[in-house]
Amino acid sequence: MISTQTQEFIGMLSTVKHEIIHALGFSAGLFAFYHDDAGNPLTTRYADGLPPFNDSLGLYQWSNKVIYKAARLWDVRGNKMLRHEVFLLITPRVVEEARKHFGCPILEGMELENQGGMGTELNHWEKRLLENEAMTGSHTQNRVFSRVTLALMEDTGWYKANYSMAEKLDWGRDKGCDFVMKSCKFWIDQKRQKRQLVSPYCDTLRTNPLQLTCRQDQRAVAVCNLQKFPKQLPQEYQYFDRLNGVPSEDLPYYGGSVEIADYCPFTQEFSWHLSGEFQRSSDCRILENQPDPLKNYGAEKYGPNSVCLIQKSAFVMAQCRKKLMYPDWGSGCYQVSCSPQGLNVWVKDTAYLCSHSGQVLTVSIQMNGWIHAGNLICPACWDFCDSCPPERDPPASNITRAPSIGSSGIFTVWLFSAGLGQKGWLVERNRAGGMWYSLWQSSQRCLCSL
């Protein structure tokens, strides 16, 4: 279904590009026809020029110069380890780019999707490893066409790739061999033991009210998509030996809401809907996502120069004796700018200087007759600026400029997982805090639990 919503244009354009790339070469039906730089087929051909046909797959059978089957040692709950079979695309440029991206010199190739059924399986990159790469099997957020996809197109033998046009992919970058060759349970457990963030995965259950966070690239408000399923997950995808507030007998029911990411939970952007109609998304960079001024509890500002910041405390709106606090909090979108002094965070017409990462900004501004007060946590200056001064103790700094405007209303929250017959949960919420669930299934957009 084609949408005329400005906020959905980028995602729709990405879908068109995605399908064109399938037609041009990224397809299991074409793997057997790839050839090397000298023009020699990578798969043996018969006298009629065609490769062997695999009747069970309904596809021309590729050779082991294109696709390689491997087995991983796969950690699951209960201190058990299973064999997890994967298919990897092992053409030369793909291998080179995959090794560079993950920082893993022993990686055999780039893993292909192993779930989702016909049309998804083997026809996309593995969602667990390249979450928001545009050639994964579902659209969850911030699609980018990376160097890995351009490498595949060049390795077909039919094209020359312009790598300067590749988009930056943060997911999995420099995470190493443990990330790319082992289960997400192994990664999460290792980070927990070291008392480090489990990013890019997450292990926080969604609650009512929602505990908001930021997408990995800090460009959108997000939630952890860890949820309880109605049935136990396959043993291969049971990752948790403990979760706060969850009885041990219920742990096999918990996993990430995106099946083709091997049920690994990760932070995911979402959208607001009103009476089934799309209102806005949580992408900070889209001006049209600006909330209604009277509902903008956190004094947020959406736009091209905005990023997601963690809120240390819930923002409070005060007017005379009235005090209002929005129940869902934890992050918000705020405009930032770079200066010789460091990163400035703008809240309405006041700039707060971030002198060091983790600095707590005490915010208090007046907007539409209300005082908005709360605390924001400074990100690292280098995350957004090309040049930054040494970190230091913060001085006082305020700068005045014009206020922001926007629009929105009562909402329903959906998680994006556009794509290929995936199932998910839709949760509707009103501002009184009531919540109810209904199962939603779509061949184009899959809605995950909130």
Catalytic residue positions?
19
Whole-angstrom CA distances from 380 to 171, 196, 282, 302, 423 are 18, 17, 21, 20, 37
**Residue 407 forms beta bridges with which residues?**
none
Q: Is residue 205 classed exposed, middle or buried when 0-12, 13-18 and 19+ CB atoms within 10 A define those classes?
A: middle
Strands 226-228 and 221-224: unpaired
Whole-angstrom CA distances from 432 to 21, 276, 332 are 46, 19, 21
Q: Which residues are annotated as a binding site for Zn(2+)?
A: 18, 22, 124
In the DSSP assignment, the letter for residue 290 is P
DSSP per residue over 138-183, as a string? SB-S--B--HHHHHHHHHTTS----GGGPPP--TTTT--HHHHHS-
Residues 6+ apart with CB under 8 A from 9: none
Which pair of tokens denotes residue 312? Answer: 């240390």
Which pair of tokens denotes residue 290? Answer: 């600006």
Pairwise CA distance, residues 8 & 12, whole Å:
6
Instruction: Say if residues 377 and 353 touch (Cβ distance below 8 Å).
Output: no
Residues 6+ apart with CB under 8 A from 160: 154
Alpha-carbon torsion (250, 256, 258, 260), positive or negative: negative
Instruction: Say if residues 308 and 268 touch (Cβ distance below 8 Å).
Output: no
State the helix-helix crossing angle for 92-102 and 147-155, rounded to 10 degrees: 170
- CA 427-125-202 angle, to 5 degrees, is 45
Give the 3-state secondary structure of residue 394. Answer: coil
| Phi, psi angles (nearest 5°) of residue 150 | -65, -35
Buried b / exposed e over 47-69, threshold 16 CB at 10 Å, is eeeebeeeeeeebbbbbeebbee
